[in-house]
Structure 1
Amino acid sequence: MPSISARIPDDEREALEEVAELLDEDRSTTIRKALQEGLHDLRIRIAVERYQTGEISVNQAARLADVPLGEWLDIAHERNLTTQLSPADIERDADAAREL
């Protein structure tokens, strides 16, 4: 597994150590989990922003967020995003659903 290093302020190091202790884990494991969760949240945020501007479609947003389409639709609903579906998109999705 490759190694990376980063400089963090003292208060963030203290927070990291507190969370690691709460989880009963070492700092490296806690850092990996925080990075994984943070990257997941960032992917969703970027997908939300691009979807809301109409830059990407529903399917593209789900792929960018790295979540299944159903989960993306839940995210979009929870965040009150307006749909970017065109009639052609709806027809294509209906056809795909019929094939299942």
Structure 2
Amino acid sequence: MKSFVMLTIVAVLTLPASAAVDAGQLFTDRCSKCHGTDGKANTDIGRKAEIADFTSAGFKSRHSDADNKDIITYGSPDNAKMKAYKDKLSPEEIDALVAYIRNLK
């Protein structure tokens, strides 16, 4: 039994880095067109749609991680341009984006 546990631990620790979600690349690929690579929404679409600056203290205080997860998963009730990603992203990718957004400065 101990051998099995050790083999499992070794297998998990030696997974290729690509198995982990690269939230920064995911944000760049899926979100930056509207939200900008820095999360400030200083893009043509961001300005036109009046998208919030993810880096602002006001945004962070008004939006919990659960709120952000719901918006990414189901779309925004306040902005029809923010579509649901539940069928386009895995739950792990959505969680990674939520954490990434929380840490934008």
Determine if the TM-score, normalized by the shorter chain, exceeds 0.5: no
- Determine which structure has the larger helix proportion and give its number: 1
* Bigger radius of gyration: 1
Q: Which has the higher contact order (CA 8 A, sep 6+)?
A: 2
Q: Give the alignment's TM-score, normalised by structure 1.
A: 0.27
